Amino acid sequence: MNISPSQTYEKLLKSERMSTRFFHSFILFLTEELQHLDSKLLTPQEKIRAEKNIAASLSLIWDLHHLLTCNHSIHLIVRNPNSKTTLSNKEIKNSAKRSFQMFQHIAKSIPFIKSEYRIQCEHALEKILSFYLSSDYFVNITNNNPIPKPWKPKI
């Protein structure tokens, strides 16, 4: 079964929308977990385990963002020029971006027991937010000129 480039791109857009919704939901969950770190009910070992889990989760989210970006870039080559990202997808991305920024703001105010986990969180968040900033400034350039014939030397 052959899948056309436009079908491939449409599947990629759908995957991107679903992933962005997942990122948004998951960062809201992590934000709640982060706020629990400030709770007096957790033992120091529980806080350290939670810090480690939050840092690992952010690293995995970055890896998924990176994978999506690579797939998106590869498929732009075969993209159907008439296909465009929908407005709702932009709204979802903006909502996820605001959630990551809110998480970053809260993370700065919560004391971590292990500074290495704070540093991991900060680096992952910077990389994740750069994904959203770069996608805001993406410009698609198309060239409709025909491809010239290959040059042949004179013999």
Q: For residue 129, give its domain range.
A: 5-136
Query: Is residue 146 classed as helix, strand or coil in its secondary structure?
Result: coil
| Pairwise CA distance, residues 11 & 110, whole Å | 39
pLDDT at 118: 93
- CATH value at residue 11: 1.20.120
Residue 142 covered by a domain: no
At 34, the amino acid letter reads L
**Tokens 């990122």 correspond to what residue?**
23
| Tokens linked to 92 | 């979802």
* Amino acid identity for residue 149 in this structure: K
Q: Residue 75: what pLDDT?
A: 54
What pLDDT shows up at residue 143?
Answer: 67
Give residue-wise pLDDT tens across range 126-145: 988 887 775 444 455 566 77
pLDDT in tens, 36-60: 888 788 899 999 999 999 999 999 9
Asked if the structure places residue 46 within a domain, the reply is yes
Q: Is 103 part of any domain? A: yes
Looking at the structure of the chain, the number of domains it has is 1
Which region, left, alpha or beta, applies to residue 145 given φ > 0 means left and ψ of -120 to 50 means alpha? beta
152 part of a folded domain: no
Q: How far is the CA of 141 from the CAs of 77, 81, 114, in angstroms?
A: 11, 10, 46
Residues of the chain with pLDDT under 70: 1, 5, 69, 71-89, 134-143
Indicate whether 66 belongs to any domain: yes
Q: What pLDDT score does 56 carry?
A: 95
Q: Look at residue 146 and tell me if it is in a domain.
A: no
For 69-93, b/e burial (b = at least 16 CB within 10 A) is: eeebeeeeeebeeeeeeeeebeebb
CA angle 27, 25, 21 (to 5 degrees): 115
Query: Is 120 among the domain residues?
Result: yes
35 found inside a domain = yes
d(CA 79, CA 95): 26
Could you give the count of Cα atoms lying within 13 Å of 53 in the half-sphere of its Cβ?
16
